[in-house]
Chains A and B, each alone.
Chain A
Amino acid sequence: MRRLIKSAGLREILLPLGRMAVFVLGAGALMSVVMVVLALLCRGSGADKLLLSTQNVNIVFYTMANLPQVLIDGVTIGFVYAAIALGYTMVYGVLEFINFAHSEIFAIGAFAGVEFLIIMDKIGVLATSGTYGPYLYLTLALAIGMLAAGGIAVLIERTAYRPLRGAPRLVPLISAIGVSFALQDIIRLVESLTTGQFYRVIPTFGNFDDKILLFTIQTASAPIKVDIQVKSVIVIAAAVMMLVGLNYIVNATRIGKAIRSVAQDRDTAAIMGIGVNGVIAFTFLIGGALGGAAGVLYALKFTRIDPFVGFMPGMKAFTAAVVGGIGNLTGALLGGIILGMLESFAGAYLGTFTMGNFGSEYKDIIAFLILIIVIVFRPSGLLGEQISQKA
Chain B
Amino acid sequence: MKIKIRETLRTVAEYLNRGKAPYFLSIGLTILGFVLVYLSPRSIPAFLVFAAAAGLPYFLSIKKSIKLALAVLVAIVLVPVLGARNIFYLEVIFQIAVFSALALGLNIVVGFSGLLNFGYMAFYAVGAYLWAFFGSQQPFLLHAIPGTAPIGTQFFMAADWFYLFIFLGVIVAAIVGLILGLPVLRVRGDYLAIITLGFGEIVRQLANNLDKPLNLTNGPQGITPIQRPTLPDGVIRFFNGIFEPLVGRPVTVNQFYNILFYLIALVVVIVAIVITYRLDDSKVGRAWTAIREDELAATAMGIPANKLKLGAFAVGASFAGAMGVLFAASRTFVSPESFTFLQSVGVLTMVILGGIGSIPGVIIGASVVIILNLQVLQSFSLFLSRLRQSDAYIPIINFYWRDLSNQLDPSKYQRLVFGIILILMMIYRPAGILPAARRKRELRVAKLEADSASVDNGNGGNGLPDVDKPAASPKEDNHA
Taking Cβ atoms with an 8 Å cutoff, the residues of A that contact B are: 96-98, 160, 163-164, 166-175, 177-186, 188-189, 192-193, 196-198, 311, 315, 318, 322, 325-328, 356-359, 361-362, 364-365, 368-369, 371-372, 375-376, 379-381, 384-385, 387, 390
Contacts and interface: CB of A to CB of B under 8 A. Distances in A.
Contact of A327 (B190, B206, B462, B474): B474
Contact of A175 (B187, B199, B423): B423
B201 interface: yes
Interface of B: 114, 116, 118, 183, 186-187, 189-191, 193-195, 197-199, 201-202, 205-206, 208-209, 212-213, 341-342, 345, 348, 352, 405, 407-408, 413-416, 418-423, 426-427, 430, 459, 462, 464-468, 472-475, 477-478
A369 B474 contact: no
Contacts of A172: 426
Nearest to B191: A375
Given A98-B190, A375-B187, A379-B191, A166 B408 contact: no
Given A193-B405, A368-B202, A375-B195, A178 B467 contact: no
Most chain A beta-carbon contacts within 10 A, residue among B193, B407, B465? B407
A372 B467 contact: no
Secondary structure dominating the interface of B: helix
B416 A182 contact: yes
Contacts of A193: 405, 407-408
Contacts of A322: 194
Contacts of B472: 379-380
B292 to A, nearest CB: 10
B467 A168 contact: yes
Contact of B459 (A98, A167, A361, A376): A167
20 contacts: A97-B190, A164-B427, A167-B459, A171-B430, A171-B464, A177-B345, A178-B423, A179-B423, A188-B413, A196-B407, A311-B341, A318-B194, A326-B474, A362-B205, A368-B202, A379-B186, A379-B474, A381-B474, A384-B474, A384-B478
Contacts of B191: 375, 379
Given A169-B468, A170-B464, A361-B208, 10 more contacts: A172-B426, A175-B422, A178-B418, A181-B422, A182-B416, A185-B413, A189-B408, A192-B405, A322-B194, A361-B205
Given A168-B462, A169-B466, A171-B426, A181 B418 contact: yes
A63 to B, nearest CB: 22
Contacts of B465: 168, 170
> Which 10 pairs show the lowest CB-CB distances between chains A and B?
A178-B422, A182-B419, A192-B407, A181-B419, A185-B416, A368-B198, A357-B213, A178-B423, A380-B474, A175-B426
Given A171-B430, A371-B198, A365 B190 contact: no
Nearest to B463: A171
A371 B405 contact: no
A372 B405 contact: no
Contact of B194 (A196, A197, A325, A371): A371
A60 B465 CA distance: 54
Nearest to B424: A178
A314 to B, nearest CB: 11
Contacts of B190: 97-98, 169-170, 173
Nearest to B349: A178
Nearest to B473: A379
Contact of B183 (A171, A189, A327, A372): A372
B423 A160 contact: yes
A69 B343 CA distance: 39
B427 A384 contact: no
Nearest to A265: B479
A167 B468 CA distance: 10
Contacts of A97: 190
Contacts of A387: 478
Contacts of B352: 174
A375 B190 CA distance: 11
Contacts of B205: 361-362, 364-365, 368
Given A171-B430, A325-B474, A384-B474, A375 B183 contact: yes
A364 B474 contact: no
